Chain A
Amino acid sequence: MTARRLAWVWLVLVAVTLVSWATASKDSVSEGAAAVAVALAFLKAGLVGWEFMDLRRAPAWLAGVFGAWVVVVGAVLVVLSLS
């Protein structure tokens, strides 16, 4: 990973954090906004795994297990946030 790529990933993580904070930090937060914040968190978790933990260059089984955690747990938590 180049320093430039690393810096971009960091910037995206910071930007997405600020977006989720801005959409779900009002006095009255809807279930939809809360669910979006959870979905964005799993997007960031996937990015941390793929880039920082270097799963993009890891064996398929490891990237698959990690990806399954992000997708399955993320989907369950988003659904639970909505209901």
Chain B
Amino acid sequence: MSAPVVTRPSATVSEGAGTARRVPGEPGVWLLVLLDMSVFAVLFVAFLLDRRNEPEAFAAGQADLTLVLGLVNTLVLVTSSALVAGVVRRSRAGVGGTERLLLGSLACGVVFGVLKVVEWAHLLDKGVEPDTGTYSMWFFVLTGLHLVHLLIGSLGLVTLLVIGRRDAHREVAADRRALVEVVATYWHMVDLLWLVIFPLVYLGAS
């Protein structure tokens, strides 16, 4: 798996304007992101408290998972996040070339979603359903809630692609750069939450 940003020469893009401290995107999206992160934090704590009560059942439930799918999805989402950071970098510098990066990050999002659905289908085939036990309930709740966030973030990436094509021959407006940063901030949160879900759900003590 390789990210185009790895090979892109850094000399072609300068740093964004100024060094003054500023809120990336809009304060509103940060309020949403911090609220979302807080809700997930409560869920993470509740998950581990339940694991303490039923360690054997949680280990057995975890054994039903296909670990490599969780690992690949983590790498895919980290790569997607890096590509989106590349989009913000180029957007701030006011240069083009963001479409390929956006398409790459969106493709990563699609791969993540498809693998997640494949994983769910595999579990359901094995007879593991949300009401099978406490672990499976948490697995479907955490990964399902996360997938909803991934879908919302993907819609944001599609919006940036559509707007980018529409405005391809115009000067990039400041409000579009702000929209890029809003979508990117949300997308990074989707990545960040999965980084925590992965060890909790897939790599617990067994």
* Chain A interface (Cβ < 8 Å from any Cβ of B): 1-4, 6-7, 9-10, 13-14, 17, 20-21, 24-25, 27-31, 33-34, 37-38, 40-42, 44-45, 48-49, 51-55, 57-60, 62, 65-66, 69, 73, 76-77, 80-81, 83
Contact between B199 and A48, CB atoms less than 8 A apart:
no
Query: What residues of chain A lie closer than 8 Å to B191, measured between beta carbons?
Result: 48, 52
Contact between A41 and B196, CB atoms less than 8 A apart:
yes
- The answer to the question of B133 belonging to the interface, with a C-beta cut-off of 8 Å to chain A, is no
Contact between A65 and B34, CB atoms less than 8 A apart:
yes
Closest to A65 in B: B34
Smallest CB separation, B14 vs chain A (Å):
9
- The answer to the question of B81 belonging to the interface, with a C-beta cut-off of 8 Å to chain A, is yes
With A17-B75, A81-B48, A83-B52 as known contacts, state yes or no: A37 contacts B203, CB within 8 Å: yes
Query: What residues of chain B lie closer than 8 Å to A7, measured between beta carbons?
Result: 3, 5-6, 82
Q: List 7 other contacts, CB 8 Å, given A21-B71, A29-B204, A52-B81.
A: A4-B10, A27-B206, A54-B24, A57-B21, A62-B30, A65-B34, A80-B51
Contact between B198 and A41, CB atoms less than 8 A apart:
yes
6 inter-chain pairs at a CB distance below 8 angstroms, sorted by A residue, are A2-B13, A24-B199, A41-B196, A53-B188, A73-B44, A80-B49
Picked from B9, B41, B203, the residue with its CB within 8 Å of the CB of A20 is B203
Contact between B203 and A10, CB atoms less than 8 A apart:
no
Closest to A76 in B: B45
* Chain B interface (Cβ < 8 Å from any Cβ of A): 3, 5-6, 8-10, 13, 15, 19, 21-24, 30, 34, 37-38, 41, 44-45, 48-49, 51-52, 67, 71, 74-75, 78-79, 81-82, 84-86, 88-89, 184-185, 188-189, 191-192, 195-196, 198-200, 203-206
Contact between B22 and A77, CB atoms less than 8 A apart:
no
Smallest CB separation, B180 vs chain A (Å):
12
Contact between A1 and B85, CB atoms less than 8 A apart:
yes
Query: What residues of chain A lie closer than 8 Å to B22, measured between beta carbons?
Result: 57-59
Query: What residues of chain A lie closer than 8 Å to B203, measured between beta carbons?
Result: 20-21, 24-25, 29, 33-34, 37
Contact between B37 and A3, CB atoms less than 8 A apart:
no
Query: What residues of chain B lie closer than 8 Å to A66, measured between beta carbons?
Result: 34
State in angstroms the CA–CA spacing of A27 and B36 once bound together.
33
State in angstroms the CA–CA spacing of A58 and B24 once bound together.
7
Give the residue among A3, A6, A24 with the most B Cβ atoms within 10 A: A3
